[in-house]
Amino acid sequence: MAGITFNNVRKIYPNGVVAVQSFSMEIADREFVVLVGPSGCGKSTTLRMIAGLEDITDGELYLGDRLINDVAPKNRDISMVFQNYALYPHLTVFDNIAFGLKLRRVPRKIIRQKVEDVAKVLDLGDLLQRKPKALSGGQRQRVALGRAIVREPAAFLLDEPLSNLDANLRTQMRSEIKKLHYQLGATFVYVTHDQTEAMTMGDRLVVMKDGFIQQVDTPQNLYDHPCNLFVAGFIGSPKMNTLEAMLERRDGSLIAVFDGGELTIPASRTYDGSLDRYIGKPVILGIRPEDFHMESEHAGIANSCLISARVELSEQIGSGVYLYVKCGETQLIATLPTHGAARHGESVRLTVDCEKLYIFDKDSEEIIA
Amino acid sequence: MRQGRIIGRTVLFLLAAVFAIGFLMPTVLTVTNSFMTQSEIDANYGMIFESARPGGTTYVGDSVNLKFIPDRVSFSQYETVLFRSPEYLLKFWNSIRLVIPIVILQVGIASFAAYSFTRYQGKLKNVLFFFYIILMLMPYQVTVVPNFIVADWLGILNTRWAIIFPGAFAPFSVFLLTKFMRRIPASLIEAAKLDGANEWQVFTKICLPQCRSALYSIAILVFIDYWNMVELPIILLPDADTQPLSVYLATINAGEVGIAFAVAVIYMIPPLLLFLHGEEALVEGIMHSGSVKG
């Protein structure tokens, strides 16, 4: 087992497309790190550089203490699970799992033992003589995992391994992969564009955009303290509401005025004066949908502000309701408890927990409070 | 509406049946006539070859009679071919000695070439592949003269290598196999590389097994193509002793019509067995190579 260190890694394709820029971070031994971001953000390229399937244009990549920039994939001691499973269709499940061991000339007896052990862990015992086409999606996924773990590599790379599975199976496999991580105690690097998957699985998440790392942190910290508008919007479901507002000083208080209402910024957010230079200037406000409450339920919230809105749509999700409202010309979404939720066309008064308000610089989109 | 559909289907069925009979008739005629005696063949088809016949002592019918069922089943033609005239078997052996090496070499070389075209990037690759397609589109009569000159220059004229050598490097197989190999997902090759496979192992353990049906279909097509060749051996193998049986079948003379039927049936057996054995692979191979929309 080993950690992975990136030192200013860059990837530029021959056609000039810059896929990854200035990528520097350390993945600790036995850590489960998730690379997350929208399509084309460079997360898969980063994973493929670790695997050795893409050349590194610039920078240094270490596996443990070993510089692996120019090491061939087969010599990196790394396993990878592909999005389409990449099982060898002409081989049985047994031979698929044993393929890497056979190439390394491991004695036949040991191969059988190892494959059977892995099959037991992944519940593949009865399927060893089947060909991949005779397996379901979940079973194929487990075979792909089996092929990865049987070699006991230094690190596991998983490239959107659950994206071809249905929702139920995805949830099940998510927990199975997580259990496997605990069981193996190995370094896992996982790529996904699904933020729910990332939040539930990773010890730390790396949020990427346009080839750049936006933020590296634990799931909770990313949710609570996003460094910029992109991370704030990417992490959390439904997406954070963002609205343009003007900061004004009134009677000693800082007020954010937006089209359809205004919110008072609590003193606790302004005491350091960081917002003073934005007074009279436009900023971006961020409000998580779950920080809205019906007026009747706001009693326990210390620094809340009230806004009036008209309901445009409500979506039942069982545990609650997504309320799409319009406040002036501003579209907002609120996650509320089912009971008492308003219906289409009704006017509602919502309170906002202003302690949890996010304020971003309009130009740089960096968080300012 | 329904009645119209039934009539339409019946017409289509009848048309298909007529075409099927049209295609099958020569084969059925050859097989059944191979069991006729020489005198019965003379009686039925003698008129066609009368002018070529020296002496003309045999009874010759007044007209050509296409006859499917022999009056008496006789194995005399087969007896002559198999036991009394070793030259036919020798020519059969010549065919095998020519075609089998071509099939093996062509499939082998095409596999290497197709793998290179699939796996390696570079500007030259596209240019080279374009030349392959141009070569493939050329009628083979165009390349016969250069082949003759090269064979003469190499000193292999009138040896079987004059046919085997150019046969081993056919562009069609490379084209077909390249199209097939491009269908193999890149992730499969990448997975093999991560599993520890080197380039040779990727080729032999991953790519070739994936292309089994394509390889089989190429083998069948090449076998049938070269099994039936006539012009090439006549040009490049002037010595009659080294020529394959296909040349004999094409230059049949009147005195051996009956034997020709038997020889034709025997000659049909290897490609037929090959086809029956690999029919599924042939269909799959051609479909997946992009020649037919799958």
Q: Is the pLDDT of residue A355 over 90?
A: no
Instruction: Indicate the CATH number of A241-361 among 1.10.10.10, 2.40.50.140, 3.30.70.260, 3.40.50.150.
Output: 2.40.50.140
| B6 lies within 8 A of chain A by CB | no
Calculate how close chain B gets to A242, using CA atoms only, in Å: 40
The whole-number average pLDDT for the span A328-332 is 86
Strands A78-81 and A155-159, by their bridges, are parallel
| B185 lies within 8 A of chain A by CB | yes
Torsion of CA A176, A178, A181, A187, to 10 degrees: 130
User: What is A4-234's CATH topology?
Assistant: Rossmann fold (3.40.50)
- The residue whose two tokens read 């009693």 is A299
- Residue closest to A347 by CA, chosen among A295, A309, A314: A309
Instruction: Give the whole-number percent of chain A exceeding pLDDT 70.
Output: 96
Average pLDDT, chain A: 89
Q: What is the pLDDT, as a whole number, of residue B50? A: 61
- What residues of chain A lie within 8 A of the CB of B215, using their CB? none
Q: Is the pLDDT of residue A280 over 90?
A: no
Calculate how close chain B gets to A202, using CA atoms only, in Å: 24
Q: What is the pLDDT, as a whole number, of residue B292? A: 40
- What residues of chain B lie within 8 A of the CB of A98, using their CB? none
Calculate how close chain A gets to B193, using CA atoms only, in Å: 6
Output b/e per residue, A314-340; b: 16+ Cβ within 10 A.
beeeeebbbbbbebeebebbbbbeeee
Count CA atoms within 13 Å of residue B195 on its CB side.
34
| B192 lies within 8 A of chain A by CB | yes
Q: What is the pLDDT, as a whole number, of residue B293? A: 34
Q: Is the pLDDT of residue A92 over 60?
A: yes
Q: What is the pLDDT, as a whole number, of residue B253? A: 60
CATH 3.30.420.40 fits B86-288, yes or no: no
CA distance B223 to B244: 13
CA distance B231 to B163: 11
Q: What is the pLDDT, as a whole number, of residue B203? A: 95
Least confident of A5-14, A21-30, A297-306, B74-83: A297-306
Calculate how close chain B gets to A195, using CA atoms only, in Å: 24
pLDDT along chain B (294 residues), means of 10: 85 93 89 86 72 53 74 85 83 92 95 91 84 82 87 90 90 89 91 93 93 90 90 86 84 72 89 86 70 38
Contact predicate B262/B219, CB 8 Å: no
Most B CBs within 10 Å, among A49, A55, A88, to test the B interface: A88
Q: Is the pLDDT of residue A51 over 90?
A: yes
Q: Is the pLDDT of residue A311 over 80?
A: yes
The whole-number average pLDDT for the span A322-348 is 83
Q: What is the pLDDT, as a whole number, of residue A122? A: 86
Least confident of A29-38, A54-63, B19-28, B125-134: B125-134
| B190 lies within 8 A of chain A by CB | yes
Contact A88 B190 (CB under 8 A): no
Q: Is the pLDDT of residue A339 over 90?
A: no
Structure tokens at A249: 């000083």
Structure tokens at B287: 């479909």
- What residues of chain A lie within 8 A of the CB of B195, using their CB? 74, 99-100, 103, 147, 151
| Contacts for A188 with CB less than 8 Å, ≥ 6 apart | A31, A32, A33, A155, A156, A158, A177, A181
- Report domain extents, chain B: 2-62, 86-288
Q: What residues of chain A have any CB closer than 8 angstroms to a CB in chain B? A: 51-53, 72-74, 76, 78-80, 82-84, 86, 88-90, 99-100, 103-104, 147, 151
CA distance B177 to B286: 10
The band of A105, judged by pLDDT with boundaries at 50, 70 and 90, is: very high
Contact predicate B114/B181, CB 8 Å: yes
Higher pLDDT, A207 or A330: A207
- What residues of chain A lie within 8 A of the CB of B196, using their CB? 74, 100, 103-104
Q: In chain B, how many H helices and how many E strands? A: 15, 0
Q: Is the pLDDT of residue A351 over 70?
A: yes
Cα A20 to the chain's mean position, in Å? Answer: 17
- Report domain extents, chain A: 4-234, 241-361
Instruction: Give the whole-number percent of chain A exceeding pLDDT 90.
Output: 55
Higher pLDDT, A369 or A25: A25
- What residues of chain A lie within 8 A of the CB of B212, using their CB? 90
- Residue closest to A138 by CA, chosen among A160, A171, A115, A165: A165
